[in-house]
């Protein structure tokens, strides 16, 4: 009986080691340099609860110096898309493009979504999207209703047809129709709107709120609103990271 117990214990230890060996963490670079808002700490804290993510803060200088080769996914948070793009400079922006082009993942939230588009001189040009009504980018903030598409439910693990997501002047996206970049899939569209500070009503509704697309060997997923600002929605960012990683 004693020998049997020893054999069972040995088997359990071997099985545990096999399972542990099968657990792989994703190395995630979280941008926190110039152009990133203080809200990056909220995002970092929210993602640190996931044990299969290894979050490391990186700056524009780190990226320009080639640090992304050590990561699976890079996240650009809220703040200023122009501030982040200009801080990266052409060298840093090309490092990001190269990273995604060669199989890396990119997740952009609000300012990070602006950065991914094809619409500005500081854009990364990795998402075939333009920004609707750029003149009224400062249209306000608050909770907004978002329609989740079938593809969005699949990728983000959402069951509901609609979600209320905090919005803070993120881009209203539409296809840019750049023939050099794959078209994006719509994961969510704005069903509600915020139209303050002179922004016209009726423009925001129906524009893309969440988009995902391949970029050569890599993947790009962008949120205009901020799911990380709501505890119940942080899983959307987590699933976006894994989708972007290709794993």
pLDDT digits (tens, 9 = 90+) for 219-237: 999 999 999 999 999 999 9
- Higher-pLDDT residue of 10 and 112 is 112
- Angstrom distance (rounded) from CA 152 to CA 228: 16
- Tell me the domains of the chain and their CATH numbers: 26-245 (3.40.50.880)
The whole-number pLDDT of residue 247 equals: 85
Asked whether the predicted pLDDT for residue 192 surpasses 90, the reply is yes
- Angstrom distance (rounded) from CA 40 to CA 109: 10
The stretch 1-23 carries a mean pLDDT of: 38
Asked whether the predicted pLDDT for residue 1 surpasses 60, the reply is no
The stretch 151-157 carries a mean pLDDT of: 98
| E strand residue ranges, the chain | 26-31, 53-58, 73-76, 105-109, 129-131, 141-148, 162-168, 173-175, 185-190, 208-215, 218-223
The whole-number pLDDT of residue 24 equals: 64
Asked whether the predicted pLDDT for residue 134 surpasses 90, the reply is yes
Asked whether the predicted pLDDT for residue 197 surpasses 60, the reply is yes
User: What is the band of 2 on the pLDDT scale with cuts at 50, 70, 90?
Assistant: very low
Asked whether the predicted pLDDT for residue 18 surpasses 60, the reply is no
pLDDT tens by residue, 38-91? 889 999 999 999 999 999 999 999 999 999 999 999 999 999 999 999 999 999
Determine what percent of the chain is predicted with pLDDT higher than 70: 90
pTM of the model: 0.90
pLDDT tens by residue, 114-128? 999 999 999 999 999
Asked whether the predicted pLDDT for residue 137 surpasses 90, the reply is yes
Q: Who contacts 92 (Cβ-Cβ below 8 Å, separation ≥6)?
A: 60, 61, 63, 64
- Angstrom distance (rounded) from CA 191 to CA 146: 5
């Amino acid at each position: 009986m004693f020998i049997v117990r020893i054999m069972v214990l040995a088997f359990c230890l071997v099985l545990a080691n096999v399972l542990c060996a099968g657990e792989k963490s994703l190395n995630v670079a979280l941008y926190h340099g110039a152009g990133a808002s203080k809200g990056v700490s909220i995002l970092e804290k929210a993602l640190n609860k996931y044990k299969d993510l290894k979050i490391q803060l990186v700056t524009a200088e780190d990226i320009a110096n080639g640090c992304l080769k050590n990561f699976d996914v890079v996240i650009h948070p809220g703040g200023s898309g122009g501030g982040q793009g200009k801080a990266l400079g052409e060298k840093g922006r090309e490092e990001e493009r190269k990273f995604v082009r060669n199989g890396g993942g990119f997740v952009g939230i609000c300012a990070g979504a602006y950065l991914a588009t094809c619409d500005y001189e500081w854009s990364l040009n990795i998402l075939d999207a333009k920004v609707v009504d750029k003149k009224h980018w400062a249209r306000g903030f608050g909770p907004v209703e978002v329609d989740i598409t079938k593809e969005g439910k699949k990728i983000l693990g959402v069951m509901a047809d609609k979600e209320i997501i905090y919005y803070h002047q993120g881009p209203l996206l539409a296809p840019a129709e750049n023939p050099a970049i794959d078209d994006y899939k719509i994961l969510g569209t704005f069903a509600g709107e915020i139209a303050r500070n002179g922004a016209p009503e009726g423009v925001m509704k129906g524009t893309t709120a969440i988009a995902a697309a391949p970029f050569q060997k890599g993947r790009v997923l962008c949120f205009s609103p901020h799911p990380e600002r709501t505890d119940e929605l942080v899983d959307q960012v987590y699933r976006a990271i894994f989708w972007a990683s290709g794993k």
